[in-house]
Amino acid sequence: DTEVTQTPKHLVMGMTNKKSLKCEQHMGHRAMYWYKQKAKKPPELMFVYSYEKLSINESVPSRFSPECPNSSLLNLHLHALQPEDSALYLCASSQTGQGRATEAFFGQGTRLTVV
């Protein structure tokens, strides 16, 4: 199984809603990532978890709250978002780097629209 599964595929939410994006992998990878991608732009890193601990936070606003409940799951909790947060949210995983680069596997993404 070389898949990273993201749910939901599409999400429309209001600015006062609370929602969560989910990501799952069963490749035994110990590094998991959230990226945000706006239309016609490259992905931008938001968070990195390594061995279920947050290792990188790219100064993301607190309305985005990541969670890694176990080595296979990664969540992104959303609260009080703004319309400019509408984007494709991509999850990825890799064997943990620990000082070396490893191949990243990406999910299909969740297309989020904030209204």
Partner 1 sequence: KNEVEQSPQNLTAQEGEFITINCSYSVGISALHWLQQHPGGGIVSLFMLSSGKKKHGRLIATINIQEKHSSLHITASHPRDSAVYICAVNWGGSEKLVFGKGTKLTVNP
Task: Summarize as ranges the residues that interact with partner 1 (CB under 8 A).
Answer: 31, 33, 37, 41-43, 45, 48, 50, 55-56, 88, 90, 92, 94, 96-97, 99-109, 111
- Closer to partner 1 by CB, 73 or 104: give it: 104
Look up residue 23 and give its two tokens. 């990501």
Pairing outcome for strands 110-114 and 10-13: parallel
- Closer to partner 1 by CB, 17 or 37: give it: 37
Task: Give the separation between CA 10 and CA 22, rounded to whole angstroms.
Answer: 12
Total residue count of the chain as it appears in this document: 115
Minimal distance, residue 91 CB to partner 1, in Å: 10
